[in-house]
Amino acid sequence: MTTPADGDQGGLEQVSSADRVPSLTGLRAVAALAVVGTHAAFGTGALNRGYPGMLLGRLDIGVAIFFVLSGLLLFGPWVRAAAAGTAAPSVGRYGRNRLRRILPAYLLTVLVAYLLYELRPIEPNPGHTWAGLIRNLTLTQIYGDYFTGFQHQGLTQMWSLAVEVAFYLLLPVLAWILLTAVCRGRWRPRRLLFGLAAVAAISPLWLVVLRTTDWLPAAAGMWLPHYLVWFAGGMVLAVLQTLGVRCRWPVVVPAAVAGYLLVATPLAGSFSATAPGLDADLARTLLYAAIATLVVAPAALPASAQGDLYARLLGSRPMVRLGEISYEIFLVHVIVMEIALTVVLGWPVFTGSAAVLFAVTVVLSVPVAWALHRLTRAPTTAIPVRCPPSTTDPAGRSAASDGRG
């Protein structure tokens, strides 16, 4: 599972506290807790308990929220530079920031997972081999015969981090295509939005090919093209943010809730199916993109500089503190949950209460994640991101567009 990978800091440098948006950090906490929730539902067998189980299972939408946040925060510097007519961000610096952001904690988690499962083996665990270790260390475990060859039981959620890394690698090329080739090196937001619509269309086209032909392997359902539409949602928000568009949460959040209630129906497929059909996969992918974008929009496009109820709840101290370690929670929670289920609670797999397992996992994961956070990177107080411009000046002449992130 996102975050996380992760709706992370988006490679943006530190800026003053006045330029930070705590509500975006709080959204990272929401996304991480949602991922923990869906795994708790899976581990206790709650996914097959009617509509309530479907609601719990669809908490994997936390991954989509992480991806939308990444699209927003990572593409933002390119958009602001284009709007201001300044130089594009340094690709080298961007790459170094990405490596520093994700690799130390990730590599340590992978090594600890392999050590723990060597001391306490479980079966089946096809990824617990030297080849699986190399694949997981290099975030290439989703390529090839992932389902039987490289999936490690303590690291099953890391597929989404592998997708994130693929997006990191693609983004500089994608930014050049959109802002230089499509927009011809000028600030043309309408043309840019049309280009992003074309990027988003890659996902449904990929699914049509995947589900109706034998051109792609089964594991291709976990590759970046399947999820580009989620990242594109955040990239669209980055453009709207630079244009000074505002979003009111009482309008979009109820729409997101309605979408979530809809995606939890059989329209998006059942959890008992080994692979979703084309219609179900399309419905789930596109609805997740819409829901996650709607959830992020009020925080990315605040209706007022003073903040509203939505921003205050997400930006509260507990949510911000959890958001700061959301990436680390994402990394460790599967291992912690397995220990919580079988050792602490002593339940057989696919039995027990999802709510209890969720609570115990969170309580145990937070100190581990905090220690991992402190060990592998300096603490931050929020996602650093510039506030949107106060006007719709097409040149983006505001503090939000000076390229400092």
Predicted confidence at residue 196, as pLDDT, reads: 98
User: Which has the minimum average pLDDT: 148-152, 271-275, 321-325, 362-366?
Assistant: 271-275
Which DSSP state fits 213? -
The domain spans of the chain are 17-389
Question: What burial class does residue 397 get, using C-beta atoms within 10 Å of its C-beta: 0-12 exposed, 13-18 middle, 19+ buried?
Answer: middle
Query: What pLDDT band is residue 24 in, cutting at 50, 70 and 90?
Result: very high
Confidence of residue 404 (pLDDT cuts 50, 70, 90): very low
Residue 89 and residue 81 in contact, taking contact as beta carbons nearer than 8 Å: yes
Quote the pLDDT of residue 398.
Answer: 32
Residue 62: its pLDDT value, please?
Answer: 98
Exposure of 87 by Cβ count < 10 A (0-12 exposed, 13-18 middle, 19+ buried)?
Answer: exposed
CA–CA distance, 83 with 77 (Å, rounded to integer): 10
pTM above 0.75, yes or no: yes
* Cβ pair 109, 120 in contact under 8 A: no
Of 151-155, 159-163, 267-271, 378-382, give the lowest mean pLDDT range: 378-382
Is 262's pLDDT higher than 50? yes
What spatial distance separates the first Cα and last Cα of the chain, rounded to whole Å?
27
Quick check: 113 pLDDT over 70? yes
- How far is 121 from 116, CA to CA, in rounded Å? 8
Distance CA 207, CA 192 (A): 24
Whether pLDDT at 354 is above 70: yes
Report phi then psi at 138, rounded to 5.
-95, 5
In this prediction, residue 17 carries a pLDDT of 36
| Torsion angles phi and psi, residue 181, rounded to 5 | -80, -55
Amino acid at 388: P
